[in-house]
Amino acid sequence: MTPQTRGLKVASAIFGIVSLLHIVRLFTGPEVYIGSHRLGLYPSLVAIIVTGCLSFWLCKMAGLGSRAAEPPAS
């Protein structure tokens, strides 16, 4: 495994964990404040989509779940 592939796998896992944490926040609904302003749940929806897509994209770049990334056997 090359260092680049390992880095893609680690980044994919981190983005996946962040996405899961936003899903948990969406269902449990804890209030988050930035200064004196309350942050609603809609930014978590955006974060779920963005971090989920990034995790999926990095996973595909690392070649997880796909044989297309492997060089053909000769």
Statement: the pTM of the whole predicted model exceeds 0.85: no
Higher pLDDT residue, 69 or 60? Answer: 60
Q: What are the tens digits of pLDDT across the range 45-57?
A: 999 999 999 999 9
From residue 36, how far is each of 18, 31, 33, 62 by CA, in Å?
24, 12, 6, 42
Mean pLDDT estimate for the chain: 88
**What is the C-alpha separation between 69 and 43, in angstroms, rounded?**
34
First to last CA, the chain: 20
**How many contiguous H segments (helices) and E segments (strands) does the chain have?**
2, 2
Torsions phi, psi for 7 (to 5 deg)? -65, -40
